[in-house]
Every structure is written in structure tokens, then in C-alpha cells.
Amino acid sequence: MTKKRTKNTKHGRKNKKTEARRRLWFIIAACIIIAAVIGAILSRDSILRRIFPLKYGAEVAAGAKDYELDRWLVYAVIKVESDFVPDAVSGAGAVGLMQLMPDTAEWIAWRRQEEYFPENLTMPEYNIGMGCYLLSYLLDYYDGDIDLAIAAYNAGSGKVDEWIASGEIEDIPYPETKAYVAKVKYTYEKYKKLYS
């Protein structure tokens, strides 16, 4: 009888060890899963912050403050217009971070009562200041309607005024401008969500 008891005791210890190992592996697996989920969340935000960066922070902050703009909107326009390339030039001839047409920049300089230097359009501070002026002007002109202001930033206020006069306010009649407005608004929301 004594031998049987020893055998059962050994078997009982073996079951307890096996159960303890299972619990340990379960805890380790749970920790790995939790770490992976946290890592994925953090890396997702990290990836998004690389896609939607905060370059030229001082210049954007100054322009947004000077013209009472939401800086996330300024970042969105820069991201969509030039993807933060200061010397970008479009096929149509728009220049710099906020992609200003030289004649528009000249008009802005005239409105701000300052001398116009076209060669400065690739300088971040100069370009962002002018772009913020234009964006603020358009928001005021269209009574704060962000869709109209962004559409006018892309297509020009003359075209947007024609579109409004025709009564087609419900839908932007220019596919390129419609896509541009949607992209800027999407980017604007991403900036607000990531950084606000």
C-alpha cells in the first residue's frame, strides 16, 4: 500500500507542476499579446505622425496667430499643396509650401502694403505668411465657410463666385477642386485628431 501512495503523490505533484507551467505560459502569452496591441497602437500613431508631420512649426504658429487661423488647417493646406517641400513648383506655376501663384503673391504683398519679392516665395516664413494671409482673407470673404474658402484657395475666388452665382452651392462643379476640398478637410481632421 505504501508504494501506491507514493505513486499517487508523485502523480499529484506532476499535475501541479504541469498546471503551474500552463498558467505561466498563459500569462506570458497574454503579456505578449498586450505588448503587441500597445505596440501596434503606438506604432500606428508614430506612422501617422510621420505621414502628417509638424514641420515649420514656428512659421506655421506665427502665420496662424497673425491671421487668427487654426494651425491644423494651415498644416493641412501645406501637406496637400506641397507635402512640405519649400521649393515646390506646380505645373501651373504655383510656388512654395503653400503653392502661391506669383500674381496672387504680388496681390497679397500689395494688400499687406509691402514690397513683393518673387524669389522669396520658396522661403518658408515668407510663403507661409502669405498663404496664411490668403487663407484668412478667403475665410472672411466667404463668412467662415471652410469649404468655399478651401475651394477658392484651389480654384480662385472668381470661379467660386461664379459657382455660387449659378446656384450650384450643393455640389462643387469642378472635380479637381471637389477632390482638393475633400483632401484638405480629411487632412485637417487627421491633424486635429493626432495633435489636439
Do 98 and 131 contact (CB within 8 A), yes or no?
yes
Residue in 81, 83, 102, 104 with CA at minimum distance from that of residue 93: 102
Q: Does the annotation count 170 as an active-site position?
A: no
Looking up cell 515646390 gives 88
Catalytic residue among 68, 81, 162, 176: 81
Do 178 and 147 contact (CB within 8 A), yes or no?
no
Q: Which residues contact 63 (CB under 8 A, 6 or more apart)?
A: 69, 74, 128, 129, 131, 132, 133
Is residue 85 classed as helix, strand or coil in its secondary structure?
coil
Residues 71 and 191: their CA atoms lie apart, in Å, by 9
Cα dist. 158→36, 137, 180, 196 in Å?
A: 53, 14, 17, 34
Catalytically annotated residues: 81
